[in-house]
Chains A and B, each alone.
Chain A
């Protein structure tokens, strides 16, 4: 058979007509590249600056203040907390409020003046190694130069030789900077987001597309019964995935599990249900199964990029961080990394639990409102 131009052109014309009719697919073709362009171009930054830092200055001297100024001027550190005890610093790091904590010991200036090269402690939350590397390098450079301005006159001799003080770095939670420790627990959240939304996204659209919805609506079944009934089976699927990731984390990647695994098991339920609710809600909006899959993808892409899974959360500009804070994956990543790597308990994870719960409530309310009990 010969290639016939007219027949070929008939297909081309038909494809264009169908493309024009299916607005969502058309939107995907334009929207996805735009989202990627904006997120990769503006939001993602692998050299994060302005990281929140706590300072515990037991020695309030001119040298301490100069050092703190030096930190600020490096533009890697934003001093957001003035801590009053080492315990407070530990809490701030565990609750993910700061990325770094600087401790200036009591006798810092005395030892400095004696030329004893005192130690300064820089602690980092290294669960995500890529978030702290550049900032740490900047600090070690600081030690040799930051006090030059203060070390004048009789003190000038301290300048000439080795650095007047040492910065001791402690990488908390992941001292060897093993990126698997960060990636593998995070993968649990990413997998759940993708599969849970996709599966349930199809759940109600399939009923509508196959005509079984009309039948279902003519029975006495209530919307709540349908939605909850469709969510529960997939909760079990979600738990199977969680178990698989945890087993792999333990036996293949040797990820440390400092916190309580049963606690993680309990808390992951909230996250699974939140994602299932997103899927169900999408499926009440989508007209067919293809649209449901496309909506799932629309949600998944920002989740992947803005949650802090692929790129350091704190490297993103404010608007992107605000967007990221709305996504359940962002908070779940902090929960799972906190429990496994930091050994966090329920108290430390609470700040990230209520946003997921709030998200779930809002989405479920939309879903139940959108699920119509009639065909109007």
Chain B
């Protein structure tokens, strides 16, 4: 579906006319990212990150397929084949650094994409399905990134696999057998490495499939915009091509400069030196942390240091280990309910004075603290900081957001996007 004034694809040559009848692929492109897709005219650069995330998914698939031509998922040789890629394979160092840093950039752009959604309430009706699919993509990304990090079979790979599969052992009754089943053994070994490689190869294509659904769902109501006022008329929109192909192209250029700077000049800046030591089941590195993009969630996991017990008794209701796991998964699964937790009819944070304060002075500093604490050692003051930040994080979504959305008085909205941009529009009829 699109707006009534969307331009229609008109094949010009005999060949494109013939093709349009048999396989209307050019028509699909024209309607999806071409002149046939009208988009709000006021999108700012925060709307670049969806396209950028799609770009980095492609970077990861292309470099990943190539790396898989040289890598062997066998615990005896895996570490060696990664070194082989770095030293022997033509441009192997570049492809591997692009893949490792590509994962980081994928998460950078995804986090900005998600925070765009938080600030502009992109998750609200009629766009709930886009948001839900987005959370699914994020969860799939986390699983894929985790399994990919295991493949080099260094110390961080091995102990990451041990710790993350250990999360499942916290589940009552079935936990321990579940961990053994996931690993195909009692500790990470060849069986685990092989299945992680298989799934790491598969999941990006699953992500690509969900991305198609995500974009499909997006193209039904069309993009949201910084005012949060829905498109009313043709003057509120511009065609995607050339306006947003150019704007996205510029954003892509800027991000690529940063990406290549990291790949070529600081390729290991975001990694851990411990992962250049081959996996050793007899020795855990002193300071074991996940990759940076998991730090906020890792901080939530570690924030739970005490069992949930009935006061003044020794009856433990939920042990600390399980609490941490529930909180960590809950911190993301909660996002599935966001469209219904935020009841305000106004979308954009620009017109929501109270919400905006809690966003900039509540959620963002909290995420920053969780991020920092997740990468810090599990000692004071980071434990107490994580606990405070974790408490606020859940309060923000489950209590503050519903209450704020009920009590705040939003600022007056512009009549239309055209009015917001040009300062005038034809009077409301």
* A, B in one complex: no
- Spell out B's residues near A (CB within 8 Å): none
A residues in contact (CB < 8 Å) with B? none
